[in-house]
Structure formats: C-alpha cells, structure tokens
Structure 1
Amino acid sequence: MIRCFTLTVSSSLLLLVSGCGGAGDSSSIEPAVTTPQTNSRWTRGLFEDASLFKDRCLAPRSGTSSVTGEEYTDVAGDSMDEKLWLRSWTNNTYLWYDEVDDNDPTNFSTIQYFEQLKTDFRTDSGSFKDNFHFSQSTEEYLTRTQSSIAFGYGISWEFIQATAPRRIIVRYTEPGSPAAQAGLERGDELLALNDIDFVHTEDRDEIDAINQILFPTSAGAETKFTLRKVSGEQIDYQLSAQSVVISPVHNAKIINAEMGDIGYLQFNSHIQSAQSQLISAFELFNTSHIDALVLDMRYNGGGLLAMASQLAYMVTGSAQTDNLTFNQLTFNNKHPNTDPVTGRTLQPTRFYSREIDYDRNVFTNNSLPSLGLNRVYILTSGATCSASEALINGLRGIDIDVVLMGDTTCGKPYGFYPTDNCGTTYFTIQFQGSNQKGFGEYSDGFIPTPNPIFEADVQGCLVEDDFNHALGTVDEGMLNAALQHLQTGQCPVQTAAKSPVKRLSATDSLKIQTSSSILDAIIVENAINQPISEPSN
C-alpha cells in the first residue's frame, strides 16, 4: 500500500508539501488566467500592493485596543477596500496562491470572500490540502492568546457525536471557573440545557438556543446544565457564563513508580501565560531528579512555535540541541529567501534556551531549566495539533526518542501569521517547515504504533481516551499505558483507540448540528506569532 504525506511547518506549526504526485501536486497547475476582465475596481489577474487597502474599513475603529493598548490605525473605507486587501494579501503570502480562483469580490460579503480565498485541491489521501483557513474577532483572539482569558463556563468539551443522538463529554474544567466551582468533572455527559433535550432535539429554535448557551458571547442568565456522572447519577448544575482565566498547564506532579520517579504534566495550549507555568513545572522536575517524563498534550491544539521550541529545549538541554534546527520555514515560490510578513532573511528556528518577553517579542537573559532527557512520552489524540506536532517533529529531528500514547494527531504541518484588518484577524496558510532532518510530511498526523514503518509512524501505542478517571491519575488509561510501557516496553492488551467523528479543522471545529446543517462553531487553537531572532549579545 502506498502512503503519501505532506510536509508542513509553522511559526508554531508546520506546512504541507505533497510527497507524491497526483491532484495535490501544485506543479501541474496552469498559470492564473490574466485575460483582463474588470469591474470598476477589480481586474482579473492584476493585483495591486496590499498596503494600498490595509486598514481601510467599512466601520473603522477608533481609540485604542482594550487588550494591547495600541492605537487603531483604521481609516474610512468600504467593504471593497477590505476585500481587495484580502485578495492582494492572499496573492502575496498564501502558500498555494496559484491555486486560488480570482473571483470578482463584488459577488461576496467580506467574510464569504475570505472563505473562498483558498485552494480546493486535495492530497493523494483525498483530504483537502487546506483545512485550516479561518477568521476570528481580533479582540477575542488577542484576549485569549495574550491575556489568557476566554468567555464561557470553563469547560473543555469532547464532541463525540454532533448530530442527533448527540454526545459531548467534559474533558476537564479550568481551575476557579464556574464549572469547576459548581463541581463538574471529567467524564460528565451533557443531557439537557434548560430542559431542552440536548441529545435528541431536531427543532431549529432549540438548536439555536443550545448553540447560544454552549458558545456564549456575553454574560447571561443562569443556565441549567443536566449531566450524567460517570457513576450514572443525573445531576443539574446552574452555570452562568463569564470571563475565565485559562491555565495552560495543569497537574504538574511527580509520580513515584516502580521504575523510578516520573514527571507528569498536562499541557493544553502554547499561549503566552504557559511560559512561566512550564518553567515552574520543569524546575520541579529538575529538583526531583526525575527518571522519565510524560507530557499530556492530548488536548493541545497549538499556539506559539517559539514556545514549542522552548519546551523541546527544556526536555533535552543544550548538549543535544546546540546549533541544531528545531524548525525550518518555507514560504511560497515568490519568497524563496525572505519571510514576506516580517521581511527577514529566512533562517532556521533553533532550540530556544532562554525565556522570551512575548509582549516585546525578544529574549530575556534568563536561561530555561532543562532535564537532559533523550526520551519523552507524549499523550496524544486527534486534538493534538500544530505547535504540539512541531514539538514531536522537532525532537525526532535530533534523534530524541519520542513515544506516543493515545491516538493519531491532527495532521497540521502548516503555519500562518494571524493578521488583523478592520477588527477581524485572518488566518491563511503561509508557510511550511521541516525539522533538522528535513522531514515535515505528516498531514495525516503522527501515528502511534508498536512497529513504525513510514516516516510519520511513531513508536508507541493506540490507547483510547479514558473519561472514567481524572487526568493525571495513574489509573487513567493513557497515563497508565505510558507507565506500563516505561516498565515493560509493551503496549496494553487493548490498543484500539476510538476514531474521532471527523477530522477537526480551524474553520470546522466541534459544532452542534441538526441532521442537515451546521449551526455554530468553536474556534480551535492556532499557532502563530512571528519568529523570534536570537539576540546579538
């Protein structure tokens, strides 16, 4: 059987390059048609510089950002200005710009126009090359990634079935959140919201109400959540949405096992606030002289590539990383030597050994702790994505023994720079990357297997996610499998992981659906921020 993978890399992710011929091979694409076809402001095949349209807005903002404190640069414009900026920006920076149809912007709303500014080509496996094209409110994006605040109940849900009969289960709750204070626990399954039958309803108005409750945008009245506990007991909880502080690192601890002291860490997101929490955890591991490390990244959808590099260094240390490449970015063929977003000459991302001031995007003089390990266990699922996969790939590139326990990762070897225009932040694939060995073709994900054959196969075991036990407890399925493997080198007897309902993407993440329509969405984690250059001193 022939298997095809694509190469990817990102500022915090990775990128895709077809490894086999076929429909996904951009070398077969004909040049864009340049026959003049015009309306008053658009000419097919002719692209003006994106700067001519940047920040020219139908509804310009004024004042300063409540998150960054920076003054808005918007000026009065119209929706065509916004669409022409998207068009030129895409043509300059999108990885597959020559596979984008140059449609008349007049026929679309701004968001609709952006949504179609991407390739429709597929890889040889039949998947779309670009599953990660999306947009988000700039204030919402900045609040989550820079201020570590999200609006909601503090629940991370596992969506098992999005159409009736629906099933969603609590993965974990954020400490101090409404859900945690009310007593919701991992494994609780949602049955009803305000007496609406969540599982079975097909009524459009009730579905709308469910989406408004699950994905709130403003504070509202208390909602009755009816959940079934792991024990089978059915309990009602009263919850109100509010701003919730996100804690990216949970359950940093030392597990005393037969084979020695094992460090365990649940890492959920590569966002700015994670840096200090990771450092504290690794200082604990260092002081305790751990014999092995288990990183639980089963729900880590990505984030900052620089932070993935820092984490890789903290696992391994300077002796195994000095002057080696963590990630090498490649942009489209218009920019073979220069990053089109930053203007910098392309250079490899190294293994970062120092703390970073992410507000100023510079290194500090503080060295990171490191464990000097040559093997690490990582717990994974289909929600392990982007920067998390870059960590796996970067470590494998310098021959660190990475062992995966769980399920196949999401397969996101792409990256982008989140770019604001007129209050919306746009995410369009702009680069690909590879590790020290030049490998990055894992668009179908990294696959845990006892007998690796292909390059994206990783030593490990398929293990089902266990919602009957709390994360970080030795009886929880994936962690228990890792501890067994550490001692015996063998996978547990039952190794069949459940398959996700569908591969999640940035534009089409977990949604509540009727049998025929998608009604709402959650924005998944993304990976980006401009690469950080090593200081000269």
Structure 2
Amino acid sequence: MPDFLTLANHCANPRQGTQPNGLPYYDGQGTLTEEMRWLRSFIDEGYLWYKEVPANLNMADYKTVLDYFAVLKTPLITASGQPKDRFHFTYPSEVWEAMSGAGVTLGYGITWSRSTGATPRVYVVTMVEPDSPASKAGVLRGDTLVSVDGADATTSTALAALSPTAAGQTHAFALKRGESTQTFSLTSQKVTEAAVQNTRVISTSTGAVGYLQFNDHNAIAERQLLDAFTTLKAANVSDLVLDMRYNGGGYLLVASELAYMIAGPAATDGKVFERLQLNDKRPPQAPQMFRTVSYGLAPTSLKAGVTLPYLGLKRVTVLTTAGTCSASESVINSLRGIDVEVNLIGGETCGKPYAFVPQENCGTTYFAIQMQGANNKGFGDYADGFQATCKADDDLDHALGDSSERLLATALSYRANGVCPATPLRARSSSSTGPLQLLRPVGKEIALRPR
C-alpha cells in the first residue's frame, strides 16, 4: 500500500483533545520524515502533473513539511509566461473548515484591493460585509487607506494590521473619502460572510431583470442561492445579471446547482456540467451532471434532496474581473456548453479550469491540483481566462447593486442595445496607479469536489 494510506495521521506533533465538531483527533505519534513521505506519496498518487515534479528533491533538505510541499509541483511555465501551476497551497485545517463550511473568516469585514501600477501602493476598500465591525463603524466601499495607528499605509506595520492574526485586535484606520479623512477604530473578530447579497429586481422597458451579487461557492451558499432564485422566479424576471466579479470559486456542486437554476431542466437534462480529467493513475470518473436538487453541504441550513427553483433563461449576463475564478468560471463554461448565451461585462477572468479534493493530515489541509474540467462540448482550455464581451473597470464610487454602478450600468445598456461602450469605461484609479487587484486568501480561488 502507498505511504499516502499507511502513514496518514502519523504526526511529528499530534494534536490532542477534540475537533471543533466534537470528534477526537485521529493523530498518532510519528516523525517529520513520515509526514514528508506521506506528502510525497499524496503528490505521486493524485497530482495532475505528477510526472513533472522534479525527481531529485531530497526530503532532508527541507526543515518543515510546508517547505517540502512548496516544491512538490510542476516547475513548467506556460506559453503566456505564467507558472503552469499557480494554485498550490495549504491552510491550517481549522481555518479552512471555518472558511469553507460556515463562511467564517477572521478580520474586520473588509475586502481590500491594491493598485498594481506605480508605487507607493494604494489600498482601497472593495467590499464591506454587512453586520461586520467595518459596516457598523461606517466604513464604505471606495474608502482609501491613509494610515493605521498613525503609520503610513505603505509601511509593514500598517499592512500587517489588514490581516489580523487573532480576534480582539484593535487598530485605528484613517480612511480617505472624497476630500476628507475619517478615523475608524476597528476590532478584529470572526466574521460570517454572506455568499449571496443584494438580490433585487430591476424594472426595464423590456421586462424585469434580476440581479444578485454572488461572492463565494461555499457550503452556506446553497441555501442563500435557493432563496435568491425563489425570489427572482416569483418576480417573473426575464433576464439575469449575475455579479461574480469577486467570486473566486469553491464547491463545484454549488456551481452545478447555480447553472441549473439559471438554465432550467429543458436545457440541462442529460447534459454534462463538467467532465473531470485526472492523472493516468486514477480511474476515469463519471461526469458531473447539472444538479436539480440540493446536495446539503450545510444540512443545518438546507437538507439534501430539496428541489431547486429555476428561471429557464436562454441568456445570462455575468459581471467579471480577474477576481472571477475557478468554480465561477465553471458556471460560465458549463452554460456555454449547453448553448446558453453568456455575456461577460467587466474584465478577463482569472483562468483556472482545475479542481482539488482538499486533503487533511496532521492539522494541515493541502491543495494540489488533481483535475482539469471540460464542459458538455469538451471545452476546458481557458487557463488564460475568459475575455469580456464588453470591457469596463470596477467602479468603487457606487455601491454594488446600484444601477448606476459602472459594470451593472454597462450590462443593462448592452442588454438593451447590444453595443459595448466605444471606449472601455475606466476606474478612477487607472490613470495614476494602474488597475486594482483584489486581495484575498488563496483558498477563495478554487474549485472543490467533496470526498
């Protein structure tokens, strides 16, 4: 039997007590070498490009398991000059379970973006989570970071405060809004992030258009998407604007359910949502079909087997940026694979047609690419992202869901007349500092299959 099976839970520092779910830890006393042997076997058995991992890597040259894992991947570069594998990472297991299962992260409820042009960098509030410390204090989308605790925004001290390491850390954030600067005292805490926000119906001269902001394909998204589509179906919407500009992915099961709720049974019956290619050591898997009932990833909020509502649309508009990644791209690709017209408004997506099955061992959850997906027509070659139908920069001067917000306004205009703006609409940051890059954990840029 491979080390991947025989050395599981042989830990140099075994955990004691019980897991957050009340079950005991299954760790046994082991050694660092045994953890590394387990890790190498995990890569050799399941990694999509295991043949490209350098054969001359010596375990003894690495002080930690994480250092060793970092090099256990393909070193190849794509034709566009990017690393072939840009998605190889780990999480402490308890952090990962909280984030993926319950949508819980540690922070203030702020998602930041950073300028990518000339220095000094500019940090801008991109999203504010409802009912979070930032929301309650009055922080708004578009506020620009000036300083933290009196330290300039570009210093390491200020930047460290953006990602607190524990709950209860308090910092004074000076934020510029327009011509004025305000100071907000924010204390970090565990924040439950809503996967679906701002579900609304927009009246137009040619019918009701649904809008929803979808941020994360996590477990709690199942219930929130069901509720959102129930609302939109009751409103008899004839079109949908799906805002996934900041959605980095998550469970492919959720993506499959979302695609079904958009297209409906007539378009999806008997069709493949995604067919996954594994390495040549793994037996072929049955394709994943469009799900018509809930899977029940978070059974306390939605049980398995609940029939999903659907809109039965022939066309959908998706708001995208480079932050639209992985499972979100699977939604786009799967709908195009069954001839639903998918128009992208905003920017090029991130380009990740790959998926993982997260693997936990000794308190660390490992993410190594195991699968590449293709749609019903066999297409899955979008490692450089999907191009926008109409280009427009993100608009931080308006709230998400506001019909005047640049991406949504462009989507409604394109829906009405089929014409993109003659000149791509630019963000206020672009002329001086370059485009903005969303800052978020790598664990929010993934496609996952449950075990």
Q: Normalising to structure 1: TM-score of the pair?
A: 0.79
User: What RMSD over aligned residues (CA atoms) do the two structures have, in Å?
Assistant: 2.2
Give, in whole Å, the separation in 2 of the partners of 1:376 and 1:172: 24
1:79-478, aligned counterparts within 5 Å? 79-102=32-55, 103-108=57-62, 109-161=64-116, 164-199=119-154, 201=155, 207=156, 209-229=157-177, 231-337=178-284, 346-359=285-298, 364-448=304-388, 460-478=389-407
Amino acid at match of 1:319: A
Give, in whole Å, the separation in 2 of the partners of 1:91 and 1:163: 42
Tell me if structure 2 keeps the 8 A contact 1:407–1:497: no
Tell me if structure 1 keeps the 8 A contact 2:216–2:444: no
Q: Share of identical aligned residues, percent?
A: 41
Counterpart of 1:482?
Answer: 411
Cα deviation, 1:35-78, whole Å, max 9, x if unaligned, reads xxxxxxxxxxxx94311221110110123211x33321110011
Q: Mark the CA change 1:164 to 1:196 in structure 2 (over 3 Å): closer, same or farther.
A: farther
1:35-54, aligned counterparts within 5 Å? 48-54=2-8
Give, in whole Å, the separation in 2 of the partners of 1:234 and 1:484: 35
Counterpart of 1:451?
Answer: none
Moved more, 152-161 or 386-395: 152-161
Cα deviation, 1:418-457, whole Å, max 9, x if unaligned, reads 1111001000000111000000000000001xxxxxxxxx
Amino acid at match of 1:83: M
Amino acid at match of 1:70: L
Amino acid at match of 2:261: M
Q: Mark the CA change 1:359 to 1:267 in structure 2 (over 3 Å): closer, same or farther.
A: closer
Give, in whole Å, the separation in 2 of the partners of 1:314 and 1:354: 10
Unaligned runs of 5+ in 1: 1-46, 202-206, 338-345, 449-459, 512-520, 532-537
Q: Secondary structure at the match of 2:305?
A: strand
Give, in whole Å, the separation in 1 of the partners of 2:367 and 2:172: 35
Q: Mark the CA change 1:277 to 1:51 in structure 2 (over 3 Å): closer, same or farther.
A: same
The alpha-carbon deviation at position 503 of structure 1 amounts to 11
In the alignment of these two chains, the number of paired residues is 444
Give, in whole Å, the separation in 2 of the partners of 1:318 and 1:363: 21
Q: Mark the CA change 1:238 to 1:372 in structure 2 (over 3 Å): closer, same or farther.
A: same
Moved more, 147-156 or 112-121: 147-156
Give, in whole Å, the separation in 2 of the partners of 1:75 and 1:356: 33
Give, in whole Å, the separation in 1 of the partners of 2:277 and 2:298: 25
The alpha-carbon deviation at position 357 of structure 1 amounts to 1.4
Give, in whole Å, the separation in 1 of the partners of 2:276 and 2:252: 11
2:28 pairs with 75, 86, 102, which one? 75
Amino acid at match of 1:176: D
Moved more, 144-153 or 375-384: 144-153
Give, in whole Å, the separation in 2 of the partners of 1:480 and 1:496: 11
Q: Normalising to structure 2: TM-score of the pair?
A: 0.94
Cα deviation, 1:200-249, whole Å, max 9, x if unaligned, reads x4xxxxx1x234311112124421101111x2221111100011111011
By relative contact order (CA 8 Å, sep 6+), the higher-ranking structure is 1
Amino acid at match of 2:165: T
The ranges of structure 1 where at least 4 consecutive aligned residues each deviate by more than 6 angstroms after the TM superposition are: 360-363, 498-504
Tell me if structure 2 keeps the 8 A contact 1:382–1:503: no
Tell me if structure 1 keeps the 8 A contact 2:149–2:158: no
The alpha-carbon deviation at position 148 of structure 1 amounts to 1.8
The alpha-carbon deviation at position 105 of structure 1 amounts to 0.6
Tell me if structure 1 keeps the 8 A contact 2:171–2:185: yes
Q: Secondary structure at the match of 1:356?
A: coil
Q: Mark the CA change 1:211 to 1:129 in structure 2 (over 3 Å): closer, same or farther.
A: same
Counterpart of 1:204?
Answer: none
Unaligned runs of 5+ in 2: none
Counterpart of 1:58?
Answer: 12
